[in-house]
Structure 1
Amino acid sequence: MASTEAQDQAAKDRIIKHMNADHQDSVRRYIEHGFGISSYTARNAQMTDIDLDRMKIVCGSRRIVIPFQPPMKSLRDARERLVQMDKDALQALGRDSITINTFIPPTVHPLHLANFSVCFLTYLAFSRKGNFLPGSLLHDYLLVNFPRFTQFCITIQPFLFLIMVSIHAFETMLMLKKLQRHSVVLFSRVWWYWVGSCFVEGITSFKRLDGLIRAKVKERDSKRH
């Protein structure tokens, strides 16, 4: 009897450790789906216990019990049951099975870095008309000998800045939806990196994110064979 209890406890410990270490995104989705908890609130959710008829999850100060319907016959059924529950959560939440938890900076690709740098410098230069007037560093050190170009920049400054911000704001909205679909925790460090990078550089940030997703899909598929 004692041996059976010890084996059950060891199995529980393995399941809990594995879920919290390798599938914390699934743990978050269980309570997002079942209890309407936001991804931000659920960001530190941890499984604390599992039995044949329920599992327990801690989310901040909340203690959440999720019943298994029907109850499992054995803890050996836990993997199949938890996988199916995650599939149900993914479908209900409109999420993809690939979770993104890393950021790829523009420095990994020369063209991406060039685009990021140009966009960032354009934001800085065209953020105010005063940057092109005498007394500014940009005017006095770079543009003082190019009066026609300087006047051109002064003329287009409000229009260029507004157009650039509008386009990149729209791209950032698309990035927000993509990050949500791939279970990136709202306001996490990775979330801020992707959102900030997208607002500056636009389309090249999507290229890196799509490349990361493809790599994860390839890695997942290779494990199935």
Structure 2
Amino acid sequence: MSTSEAQEMVAKERIMKHMNADHQESIRRYIEASEQTSFYQVRDAQMTDINLNNIKISYGGKQAVIPFDPPMKSLREARERLVQMDKDSLQTLGRSDISITKFVQPYAIPAHMMNFTTWLITYTAFSRRSNFMAGSLLYDTLLSRTPGFATFCLTIQPLLLVIIMGAHSVECVLMARKLAKHGLTPFEAVWWLWVGTTFVEGFTASLRLNGLIAEKKKEKEAKKH
């Protein structure tokens, strides 16, 4: 093997190692955009080769070949080309260039924590009709002094629970769509934290996510100056 060939192999290995370790999201987007696959199919995507003409990616037992147009003149162009390919993939998929990788706890904002706690208590109290009957811990410790209110809660319990769960389920769907736009999928624990807390607290989780997105946009803009 000549010196130039050896240097090319080293460069290839360095690029693939870097992409597979630090830019998994980009690799998955390349496949989703070019092969029209779902996030489930590309969850294990790995770059297996790169040359002046294309990159090769294995996923789900398949292999995709994605061409460079036009071909590169040198592997030194790889970084710029891969970045542009990712931008094109984001545009094709209709996704944001702001990636969400962390979860903001309700307690980060006192009003959100209060809302979360209120809904959690409501879910717990209305989860069973027997909670509003004599003999239950809730009734005996808090509601026995207001039997009329206990009877009212007992009457509305089934309907209220259905309304709350229905409304918050819609909030979860909207949250999942927003997370997908920002690169999060159900294969990541952070996705479950956002969607799970949304089911409990409703819209305040979305407010925190919007705040996090705005913060990341500011950081990205600051890096441009």
Same fold (TM over 0.5): yes
1:53-64 superposed matches below 5 A: 53-64=53-64
Q: Does 1:103 align with 2:127?
A: no
CA distance in 2, matches of 1:139, 1:192: 34
Q: Identify the residue that residue 52 of structure 1 maps to in structure 2.
A: 52
Question: Displacement of 1:48 after TM fit?
Answer: 2.3
Shift of 1:14: 2.8
Distance 2:43 2:91 in 1: 19
Aligned Cα RMSD in Å? 1.8
Q: Within 2, Cα distance between the matches of 1:223 and 1:187? A: 30
The 8 Å contact of residues 169 and 199 in structure 1, kept in 2 or not, is answered as yes
Runs of 4+ in structure 1 deviating by more than 4 angstroms, as ranges, are none
Q: Deviations over 1:105-139 (max 9, x none)?
A: 21322222221111111112112322211222211
Which residue pairs with 1:94 in the alignment?
94
Q: Which moved more, 1:169-178 or 1:33-42?
A: 33-42
Deviations 1:196-225 (A, max 9, x none): 111111111112111221222222222222
Give the length in aligned residue pairs.
225
Displacement of 1:13: 2.6
Aligned to 2:135: 135
Contact 1:39-1:186 within 8 A present in 2 as well: no
Q: Which runs of 5+ in 1 are unaligned?
A: none
1:116: which partner in 2?
A: 116
For residue 135 of structure 1, give the secondary structure of its aligned residue in structure 2: coil
- 2: CA distance, partners of 1:46 / 1:109: 39
Tell me, yes or no, if the aligned pair for 1:95 and 1:183 is still in contact at 8 Å. Answer: yes
CA–CA distance in 1 between the matches of 2:209 and 2:44?
Answer: 24
Aligned residue identity for 1:223: K
How far residue 143 of structure 1 moved from its aligned partner, in angstroms, is 1.5
Q: Sequence identity of aligned pairs in percent?
A: 55
C-alpha separation in 1, matches of 2:187 and 2:121: 26
Q: Cα deviation per residue 1:60-110 (whole Å; 9 max; x = unaligned)?
A: 433332222332111122122212221221112111111112222213222
Deviates most, 96-105 or 55-64: 55-64
Which sections of structure 2, spanning at least 5 residues, go unmatched? Answer: none
2:134 maps to a residue whose letter is: P
Matched to 2:16, the amino acid is I
Q: Secondary structure at the match of 1:152?
A: helix
Q: Pick which of 88-97 and 42-51 moved more.
A: 42-51
Alpha-carbon distance in structure 1 between the residues aligned to 2:72 and 2:212: 36
Are 2:198 and 1:198 aligned?
Answer: yes
TM-score by length of 2: 0.91
What secondary structure, in the 3-state scheme, does the structure 2 residue paired with 1:57 have? strand
Post-superposition shift, 1:34?
1.2
Q: Do 1:98 and 1:182's aligned partners in 2 also have CA atoms closer than 8 Å?
A: yes
